[in-house]
Chains A and B, each alone.
Chain A
Amino acid sequence: SQKIEQNSEALNIQEGKTATLTCNYTNYSPAYLQWYRQDPGRGPVFLLLIRENEKEKRKERLKVTFDTTLKQSLFHITASQPADSATYLCALVPGNTPLVFGKGTRLSVIA
């Protein structure tokens, strides 16, 4: 069956360090993969999209990689800040159906 797995439910890191979140998928061959941020009581907010032929995508302190051989995407936040604390969701489109989301990783950046 098709699965999207974000391997950590929760991740705690020290302020200033780099946070690395993992998204693995099985039985999909997505052309694109997206990352969203969700704060408590709010809807997800789009952060980055990466195409299958892009190895890496950057936006300010964020970096996403996409390895279609490993079926994995890594999401990095460099120089993390307490304001980065949130749940981060990866998502992809499995063919003709709308966006499918992983369960998310709850990141806590400790000052």
Chain B
Amino acid sequence: NAGVMQNPRHLVRRRGQEARLRCSPMKGHSHVYWYRQLPEEGLKFMVYLQKENIIDESGMPKERFSAEFPKEGPSILRIQQVVRGDSAAYFCASSPRQGAREKLFFGSGTQLSVL
């Protein structure tokens, strides 16, 4: 049973380009979470999705960022017109259910570097 798969592992973009980060949750998991981690900072929640629905996007910047989790295929985190401040590690996690006692299974992350 493969774990949470994220790709690419490393992504380099120039300012103004678009970044697309992909996440395939563990088999049987329908809940997906995206977090961002800056150097020396903790994991910051961005968005929580279930299949075809955004449940909580309270941590998502209002502009340039969007996320989806279609019926078929991986979850996508999309950053338009990237800026240097978007450089960070982006982690995806999944769980089979939602709740305070549900542990999250994380992928290895995508390291985004904006030149």
Contacts and interface: CB of A to CB of B under 8 A. Distances in A.
Interface of A: 30-32, 34, 41-46, 49, 51, 89, 92-93, 96-104
B103 A34 contact: yes
B4 to A, nearest CB: 7
B101 A49 contact: yes
Interface string B84-103: 00000001010000111101
A1 to B, nearest CB: 14
B45 interface: yes
23 contacts: A31-B100, A32-B100, A32-B101, A42-B108, A42-B109, A43-B91, A43-B93, A43-B108, A43-B109, A44-B43, A44-B91, A44-B106, A46-B104, A46-B105, A51-B101, A89-B42, A89-B43, A93-B100, A98-B45, A98-B48, A98-B98, A99-B45, A103-B41
Where chain A touches its partner, the secondary structure class is loop
B25 to A, nearest CB: 13
A89 B108 CA distance: 16
A49 B103 CA distance: 8
Where chain B touches its partner, the secondary structure class is loop
A104 B100 contact: no
The winner among B43, B91, B99, B109 for most chain A CB atoms within 10 A is: B43
Assign chain B's interface to a size class: 20 to 34
A93 B102 CA distance: 9
B17 to A, nearest CB: 24
**5 closest cross-chain pairs (CB), A and B:** A43-B106, A103-B42, A93-B100, A46-B103, A101-B43
Contacts of A97: 45, 56, 58
Nearest to B111: A41
B45 A100 contact: yes
B109 to A, nearest CB: 5
